[in-house]
Amino acid sequence: MKKYLQIEYMKIKGNSSFKVFTLLFLILMPILIIVLPSYFKDGLFGLGMEDSYPFMPRTASSTWYYTTYIASWFSFYLLSFIIIFHITSEYAAKTVRQNIIDGYSKLDYLKSKIGMVVFMATAATIYVFIIGLIAALYFKGNQPDPSTQMPDLASMMTGTLSNNSTELDFGGMFDGILFVLGFYIQILAYFIVAVLISMLVRKGALAVLLFFGVFFINMILTAVISTQGGEDLIEYLPFNSFSGLLPNFEMEFLLFGLGEMETLSLTNALLSIGYIVIFIFLTKVIFYKRDVV
């Protein structure tokens, strides 16, 4: 596997989209997770916009959640594109065929691509863990005074304007750390989908369109199944399983408080792993069945 990764790195390191997208990911993550919240927390240069930042860590759990939630979007839009452009450019330049002619078996080639995405997912997860850890340490050390906090939305809606002190307790440093695992499974799933689509259509622009397209198809299917009364089935759709690993907690957070954010769905995790295996198998079938042109 080390050989495969070395070869993939040699291929990709000269690629400008790889450099740009990776740099964006590396730079934007700490800005959104640490730098901006710290400015907003201190009142944004005296403008008093403490609560206007949507990803303001209030507990360790929410810190890990926001870190992984934001990172998952970047992974989807930036890192997945690196994979798509890397694989489809190999088809465009016919270097896939040259690699096979040079001595790779089809299995070797497939292993190199799967190995690359597993490595990228692992590296991104480690980076996200480090950013989350720094954020958790920083915000725990700068925890605001509970008496100055705004009441939660549920309290406002019910008319009980009381501060919930448990919500403002930062808690243990690693509360919600399971979101990192959820992030890892989720981006691995996205990356494998990117590999599958790239090998299926073999053209960069088309692959990007289809990458978004499958999510729209998933959304349409979700809507159709819902109207047919199949709500129980919705979570089993592949992309609902992936997104369910790091769901949009905003509403739940506002309505039910922070405690709801501490769970990682085991069902979604197992389903996603199952889909990852299925998509790898499909990729193999497609790659083996077709001529390498």
Footprint of other proteins (CB under 8 A): 3, 6-7, 10-11, 14-15, 93-95, 97-106, 108, 289-293
| Residue (101 or 254) nearer to other proteins, CB | 101
Least distance (Å) between residue 230 CB and other proteins? 40
Least distance (Å) between residue 280 CB and other proteins? 20
| Residue (137 or 292) nearer to other proteins, CB | 292
User: How do the residues of the chain divide into helix, strand and coil, expressed in percent and rounded to 5?
Assistant: 75, 0, 25
Nearest to 237 by CA among 249, 226, 248: 226
CA–CA dist 181, 269 (Å, integer): 9
CA–CA dist 93, 9 (Å, integer): 17
- DSSP string covering 117-166: HHHHHHHHHHHHHHHHHHHHHHHHHTPPPGGGSPPPHHHHHHT-----GG
φ/ψ region of 86 (left if φ > 0, alpha if ψ in -120 to 50, else beta) reads alpha
Least distance (Å) between residue 10 CB and other proteins? 5
| Residue (114 or 185) nearer to other proteins, CB | 114
HSE value, Cβ hemisphere, 13 Å, CA-based, for 43: 7
| Residue (100 or 181) nearer to other proteins, CB | 100
Least distance (Å) between residue 22 CB and other proteins? 16
CA–CA dist 128, 171 (Å, integer): 20
| Residue (4 or 69) nearer to other proteins, CB | 4
Are 2 and 110 in contact by the 8 Å Cβ rule? The answer is no
What is the DSSP-derived secondary structure letter of residue 55?
T
Least distance (Å) between residue 16 CB and other proteins? 8
| Residue (266 or 293) nearer to other proteins, CB | 293
Least distance (Å) between residue 109 CB and other proteins? 9
